[in-house]
Amino acid sequence: MTFSSALSRLAHFESLPDEVKESLEKIAVRRTFSADQVIYLEGEAADFVYLLEKGWVRAIRLSRKGREQAMLVLRAVDLFGDIALFTTGFYPGTVIALEECLVWALPSSGLLEILDRYPHLSQAFARHLAFRILHHLQLVEDLSLHSVEARLARTLARYAEEREGQWVVPRRPWATYDAMAIRLGTVRDVLSRALKNLEGKGFLRVEKQQIVLLQKEELAEYEE
């Protein structure tokens, strides 16, 4: 897949003029990261903005005591590293590949020059960042207002994929109960009980390789 074709799959960027996409493609460098490989560290200078073409990544922060706090999990196609470009110039968190990932690295200096030339691109980034803010607001709401069971239900609905006429969440190797618990701000045992409760209520069915969502719309708005 070319850079332009990958960018065209990203919301808010798909309708950019070809001239803009071609300018970006000239500075983009394709890179591969293996599972568990660090793409960049919290506090590093934001020398690149990344377009995720294939795979999943997670963004985390570490407390002074070494406790991990999940910030975001992204799947292709998406951008990351862009917040630092428009704020402090340093990455606010560490990003790690959850599986083999293909990314396009855009040098920040070159990207800023292109942004100055093309208002359409600046508008696309503004819309992208605005929706990212809405996502974080939803996370804050979930953590402060909703139970673990409700947070789990909404997260499953958010990342479901339609396959053969049903909505499923594939059981990926890195999506362990411990990893999911950290992401939802809880512990493994509480998460396991919440999943069993949702299954017992008929909202989903847990299978070996996937979780089948029997009532996706209800899960997306689930409240206890």
Mean pLDDT, rounded, of the chain? 88
What are the tens digits of pLDDT across the range 66-96? 777 777 788 889 999 999 989 989 999 999 9
CATH 1.10.10.10 location in the chain:
146-220
Q: Tokens in use for 143?
A: 């953590």
Give the pLDDT score at 7. 93
- Residue type present at position 203: F
Close Cβ partners of 168 (under 8 Å, ≥ 6 residues apart): 160, 161, 162, 210, 211, 212, 213
- At residue 121 the predicted structure's pLDDT band, cuts being 50, 70 and 90, is very high
- At residue 173 the predicted structure's pLDDT band, cuts being 50, 70 and 90, is confident
- At residue 169 the predicted structure's pLDDT band, cuts being 50, 70 and 90, is confident
Q: Would you say residue 32 has pLDDT above 90? A: yes
- Measured distance CA(93)–CA(40) in Å, rounded: 8
> Which CATH number among 1.20.1050.10, 1.20.140.10, 1.20.1090.10, 1.10.10.10 corresponds to the domain 146-220?
1.10.10.10
Q: Would you say residue 139 has pLDDT above 80? A: no
